[in-house]
């Protein structure tokens, strides 16, 4: 079976390591390779994958939105987001999906029960593509109270409205004032990502003890936001789980097999610690 990831640039991706390990563990023949594809090569690459009988591939920055025009069909979650991260090829046709939001939800469920997620007062920080996917997945899962905080508050308003969320829309200053109120806070902004490790969208030092701080960033494994949250007595969840679960959901679509996510989270964490 032939699998791939396309992006531009792509050399730092941990997806080949993850999927090749899973292929081996499941005793499946095949390989997963990274392809550096520039925007002007995208259309041709989609056709090549179909012609060369690939089973499917992942799509990453900057192609998640642009690829949609070249696919035969996309599912409801990808359509709602306007972004695809996984393509499955069946009978020479390309079908697009988005597993990012669901991947985050699965990661969250390693730290909180379904009932806890549903009844928590949740704050999503950021209102870009990642926030949209996560808000959509949490909402369809049955999370009752989701608020959005964003630097540009009109984008938070739009997200609350488009998903019919019952929480509040606010700017970052308002979120900072109310920070002690939330049971779960999820950073979806790039603030704190390497090399900008001293940045943070919110100062988590006043988070409620026993609450949960989640970040979608995994480089570094512990962002400044997560460090402060931990010092305040909150539980923390970094972005490794989301990365692994979005990959596992893609792998299941291609192979019909359920890969070992827990050991992969450990492997990637160890790998990051050594870098």
CB contact at 8 A, 187 and 166 = no
Cα 56 to chain centroid, rounded: 19
Residue 189 within binding range of ligand ATR, rule CB under 6 A: yes
Exposed e or buried b per residue across 132-141, where buried means at least 16 C-beta atoms within 10 angstroms of its C-beta? bbbbbbbbee
Size of the residue set binding ligand ATR (CB under 6 A)? 15
Which range touches ligand ATR (CB under 6 A), out of 32-40, 69-77, 145-153, 257-265?
A: 145-153
CA dihedral of residues 247, 34, 131, 108 (deg, nearest 10): 30
Comparing CB distances to ligand ATR, the nearer of 103 and 129 is 129
Alpha helices in 142-219 (DSSP H): 153-163, 172-177
Give, in degrees to the nearest 5, the angle at Cα 153 between 152 and 154: 95
Instruction: Find out whether 126 is annotated in a ligand binding site.
Output: yes
Residue 3 within binding range of ligand ATR, rule CB under 6 A: no
Rounded to a whole number of angstroms, the minimum distance from the CB of residue 239 to ligand ATR is 11
Strand partners of residue 235: 212
Residue nearest to ligand ATR (CB): 128
Residue 152 within binding range of ligand ATR, rule CB under 6 A: yes
Among 147, 150, 169, 261, binds ligand ATR (CB under 6 A): 150
Query: Could you confirm whether 64 is annotated as catalytic?
Result: yes
Rounded to a whole number of angstroms, the minimum distance from the CB of residue 70 to ligand ATR is 20
Residue 126 within binding range of ligand ATR, rule CB under 6 A: yes
Alpha-carbon distance of 201 to 213, in angstroms, equals: 13
Which range touches ligand ATR (CB under 6 A), out of 32-40, 176-184, 186-194, 266-274?
A: 186-194
Alpha-carbon distance of 60 to 3, in angstroms, equals: 14
Written as six digits, the tokens of 12 are: 């730092």
Instruction: Find out whether 152 is annotated in a ligand binding site.
Output: yes
Which range touches ligand ATR (CB under 6 A), out of 17-25, 33-41, 134-142, 183-191?
A: 183-191
Among 108, 127, 159, 193, binds ligand ATR (CB under 6 A): 127
> Residue 263: which residues within 8 A CB-CB, separation 6 or more?
none
Comparing CB distances to ligand ATR, the nearer of 65 and 260 is 65
Instruction: Find out whether 225 is annotated in a ligand binding site.
Output: no
Helix (H) or strand (E) holding 11: none
Instruction: Find out whether 82 is annotated in a ligand binding site.
Output: no
CB contact at 8 A, 122 and 166 = no
Residue 191 within binding range of ligand ATR, rule CB under 6 A: yes
Written as six digits, the tokens of 203 are: 């100062």
Helix (H) or strand (E) holding 225: helix 224-231
Residue 155 within binding range of ligand ATR, rule CB under 6 A: yes
Which range touches ligand ATR (CB under 6 A), out of 11-19, 182-190, 249-257, 265-273?
A: 182-190
Alpha-carbon distance of 161 to 135, in angstroms, equals: 12
Known binding residues for shikimate:
13-15, 60, 85, 100, 218, 246
Per CB under 6 A, residues contacting ligand ATR are 126-131, 150-152, 155, 188-191, 201
Residues tagged active-site: 64
């Amino acid at each position: 079976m032939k699998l791939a990831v396309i992006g531009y640039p792509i050399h730092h991706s941990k997806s080949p390591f993850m999927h090749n390990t899973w292929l081996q563990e499941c005793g499946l023949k095949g390989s997963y390779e990274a392809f550096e594809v520039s925007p002007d090569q995208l259309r041709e690459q989609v056709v090549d994958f179909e012609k060369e009988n690939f089973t499917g591939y992942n799509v990453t920055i900057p192609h998640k939105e642009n690829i949609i025009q070249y696919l035969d069909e996309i599912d409801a979650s990808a359509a709602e987001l306007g972004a695809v991260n996984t393509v499955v090829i069946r009978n020479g046709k390309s079908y697009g999906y988005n597993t990012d939001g669901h991947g985050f939800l699965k990661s969250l469920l390693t730290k909180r029960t379904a009932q806890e997620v549903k009844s928590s007062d949740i704050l999503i920080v950021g209102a870009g593509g990642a926030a949209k996917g996560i808000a959509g997945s949490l909402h369809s899962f049955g999370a009752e109270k989701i608020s959005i905080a964003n630097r540009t508050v009109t984008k938070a308003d739009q997200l609350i409205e488009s998903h019919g969320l019952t929480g509040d829309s606010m700017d970052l200053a308002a979120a900072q004032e109310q920070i002690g109120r939330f049971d779960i806070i999820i950073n979806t902004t790039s603030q704190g990502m390497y090399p900008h490790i001293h940045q943070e969208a919110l100062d988590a030092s006043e988070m409620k003890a026993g609450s949960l701080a989640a970040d979608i960033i995994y480089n570094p494994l512990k962002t400044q936001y997560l460090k402060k949250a931990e010092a305040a007595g909150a539980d923390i969840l970094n972005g490794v789980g989301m990365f692994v679960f979005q990959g596992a959901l893609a792998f299941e679509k291609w192979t019909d097999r359920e890969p070992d996510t827990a050991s992969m989270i450990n492997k990637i964490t160890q790998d990051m610690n050594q870098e």
